[in-house]
Amino acid sequence: MSSLRPRATPRATTPRATTALLGAGLALVTALAATGCGSGDSPAAGDAKSAAGGDRAADVRLRWTACSAPTAAQGSDGKAPGKAWECAKLPVPLDYAKPDGEKIELALIRTKARDKDKRLGSLVFNFGGPGGSGVATLPALATGYDKLRERYDLVSFDPRGVGESAGVRCLSDKENDAASQVDGTPDDAAEERTALATNKAFVDACAKNSAKLLPHVDTLSAARDMDRLRAALGDDKLNYFGISYGTELGGVYAHTFPGNVGRAVLDAVVDPTQDPVQGNLGQAKGFQLALDNYLKDCASSAQAARCPTQERIVSLLKKLDAQPLPTRQGRKLTQDEAVNGIASALYSKDTWKFLTQGLQEAMNKGSGDTLLLLYDLLTGRGSDGRYSNLGPANRAISCADARQRYTADDVKGRLADFRAASPVFGESAAWSLLGCTGWPVEGKWKTIDVSAKGSAPIVVIGNTGDPATPYAGAHRMAEGLGKDVAVEVTYKGEGHGAYNSGNSCMVRAVDAYLLDGKVPAQGTTCS
């Protein structure tokens, strides 16, 4: 399993989705990995002025201009987002301990509210990752938030270290391709040495190419950036829609600036109480649950005769461990790529049919085409062979946050637990714990403190079938925020996230809060 932490999977193509296979209206498939990072040394709650650099943030005048096409680092399809969109740059301190020192610029994008007379301000989105480009993603998904645009300027950004906001750089595209062919779930000492050497090469490349950035791409710094963004937008309060990792960022923001929280929604919620081992183990169970649900659904459908079984999937993965499958691209589908390709299709029920297609191709035709495409979408690889910086940014932010560092012996000592959690995803989830091994920057915390006493109500949405951010995490986030702050809402469904499911009950509840200030009843459930 990839070492990427989860990000949003709204129902639209990823900005670099390259084929009609996952055409418009389908899930943006993404990352699979550890969710347990959090805050322990943030500034005192309510100390917004000292944390964000004070009134200097409000003095920034944003210069909005026509947007050009997103870059390769952001995940570009080569097309500009259109006349309704404007882009700008926001200068922020590289190091908030030196607020008057070196600056970096954050890439911003917005589309203005249609009803100027009833405009409520800006609604800032973070779609997750960490590492997802908001500049590339928001225009691609904006139709799903069209009603909110009536009264809000829809705004997003590339967080620090992401895309065009001083994006972290590590390996070259060719080196990334080569690294993807290395067995990430080693079976013997030789494979283990190769896997560890590959991980070290990635870490060394990040240190060589992005040394100055790595200490400063943590989530707390990103939360401080968001408060500067709020001020620069001219808003007294931050109205916020955070999805997947965006819920972690939202929780850290609320803890750091509780008095600055406006109307906020957290959807597909990261569990703030888990360390990386607990987070990875929880995700192995979550993706196994989603796979079980997919298999049951497929077996009861009209295409039941084409449906795989878990036993056949496990057998396929064992064969791939020994002999990768060919593809029309000329690349080989490895065991690790297949596991992540399967996982990516589980982020939305809309892509389950492509999972069936990919597994049938692999099992019956000896072709890895569809599963490799799903893997490429997850890792940000375009059909031209260029990668977005999703992977490097994800690793850098995760390792700047999490203090824990694991060894191969630590992983091997927990393999039995992970295999028991999932015969398909368990081993990969376990070995991905080595992602921060040897990282040149010490992490900031062991688990997140999201307590937000004094904050406005925050709607916290959990999805019972969510594979990447399992349902229990929403309740723990709500407990962490505080009973007088968090309002828990449940969606009984499949896929990563709830609002993007199109469920009318869920959409009504969120829209009523964001547009009219009507807080949902505690415990509201949609199905």
As annotated, the active-site residues are: 244, 466, 496
Residue 111 φ/ψ, nearest 5 degrees: -130, 135
**Residue 179 dihedral angles phi and psi, to the nearest 5°:** -65, -30
Q: Is 58 helix (H, G, I), strand (E, B) or coil?
A: coil
Task: List the one residue out of 267, 266, 272 whose CA is nearest residue 40.
Answer: 272
- Evaluate the CA torsion angle 18, 19, 21, 22 in order and state its sign: positive
CA distance 379 to 368: 16
Q: Say how many C-beta atoms besides its own lie within 10 A of residue 300's C-beta.
A: 9
Residue 461, classified by CB atoms within 10 Å of its CB into exposed (0-12), middle (13-18) or buried (19+), is: buried
The answer to whether 269 and 247 are in contact (CB under 8 A) is yes
Six-digit token pair at 242? 């955070």
8 Å CB contact between 281 and 421: yes
Rounded Cα distance between 381 and 65, Å, is: 29
Q: Are 329 and 372 in contact (CB under 8 A)?
A: yes
Q: Are 291 and 346 in contact (CB under 8 A)?
A: yes
Q: Is the distance from CB of 242 to CB of 266 less than 8 angstroms?
A: yes
DSSP labels, 247-291: HHHHHHHHHH-GGGEEEEEEES---TT--HHHHHHHHHHHHHHHH
- Biggest CA-to-CA distance, the chain: 67
Is residue 222 classed as helix, strand or coil in its secondary structure?
A: helix
- Measured between alpha carbons, how far is 370 from 353 in angstroms, rounded to an integer? 11
Question: Residue 461, SS3?
Answer: strand
- For 285, the token pair is 């169970």
Which one-letter amino acid corresponds to residue 123?
A: L
Measured CA to CA, the distance from residue 389 to residue 376 in angstroms comes to 13
d(CA 51, CA 256): 8
Q: Tokens 């260029």 sit at which residue?
A: 386
DSSP 19: S
Are 501 and 493 in contact by the 8 Å Cβ rule? The answer is yes
- DSSP assignment letter at 43: P
Angle, in degrees to the nearest 10, between helices 310-322 and 335-345 = 150
